[in-house]
Chain A
Amino acid sequence: AQRVTQPEKLLSVFKGAPVELKCNYSYSGSPELFWYVQYSRQRLQLLLRHISRESIKGFTADLNKGETSFHLKKPFAQEEDSAMYYCALISGGSNYKLTFGKGTLLTVNP
């Protein structure tokens, strides 16, 4: 069964500091991985997906198949980055359901 683990429930950093939100997954195949974000009083929205290899709002995430990880990184955190972040995967093939981790609440302090 596929599983997504986000080991940190809470993460607090200062503005300008680097930030890394950890995500590990368990799935034997080649899943598609995503990061979703929920800002205060807003709906859940896609931040980035590994297949696009894109950088959104300064965030990047690299898929490491050897370590089964998909950590989200940003070199200089901003206060507006404070939000709930969810890592998610789709196992692919004929399985289209998104499996989410429990989320990490990031707080960026001034």
Chain B
Amino acid sequence: DAGVTQSPTHLIKTRGQQVTLRCSPKSGHDTVSWYQQALGQGPQFIFQYYEEEERQRGNFPDRFSGHQFPNYSSELNVNALLLGDSALYLCASSLRFGWTTDTQYFGPGTRLTVL
């Protein structure tokens, strides 16, 4: 099991563009969460998906949207990119939705640079 995988590894976009990041959860996991980690900061929760629905959301504008597919993989979309969206985007998966004691397994992240 490769664990949580994310693509692409790096991405460079310009302001105003749109971007899609992808995540495949660990085998057997059905819940996917996305985090934004700015330089020098801890990861900040964006949203969580289970059964193809957004279940929880952090303090992020509507420009950030997501999707979960029947195979549990997920996408994070960001529209109208701003310079401040430059960050490492982390995906995490867990075994059971709602079980707060379940370990979240993180992917390696996608480094997004907005110029």
Which residues of A pack against B, CB within 8 Å? 4, 32, 43-46, 49, 51, 86, 88, 90, 92, 95-103
Q: How distant is the Cα of A103 from the Cα of B42 in the complex, in angstroms?
A: 6
Contact with A along B84-102 (1 / 0, CB 8 A): 0000001010000110110
CB neighbours (8 Å) of A95 from chain B are 56
Could you count the A-B residue pairs with CB atoms below 8 Å apart for me: how many are there?
Answer: 53
Q: Looking at the complex, which one of A32, A43, A45, A102 makes contact with B100 (CB distance below 8 Å)?
A: A32
CB neighbours (8 Å) of B56 from chain A are 95-97
Q: Looking at the complex, which one of B3, B45, B55, B105 makes contact with A98 (CB distance below 8 Å)?
A: B45
Which residues of B pack against A, CB within 8 Å? 3-4, 33, 35, 40-45, 48, 55-56, 58, 90, 92, 97-98, 100-101, 103-109
Check A102–B45 contact: CB distance below 8 A: no
Closest 10 CB pairs between A and B?
A100-B42, A97-B45, A44-B106, A90-B100, A102-B42, A46-B103, A100-B43, A43-B106, A43-B108, A97-B56
Q: A92-B100, A97-B33, A100-B43 are known contacts; what are 11 more A-B pairs with Cβ within 8 Å? A: A4-B42, A44-B90, A45-B105, A86-B43, A90-B100, A97-B58, A98-B104, A101-B42, A102-B40, A102-B41, A102-B42
Check B33–A98 contact: CB distance below 8 A: yes
Check A100–B44 contact: CB distance below 8 A: yes
CB neighbours (8 Å) of A44 from chain B are 43, 90, 106
Contacts A86-B42, A100-B44 known; A45 to B106 CB distance under 8 Å?
yes
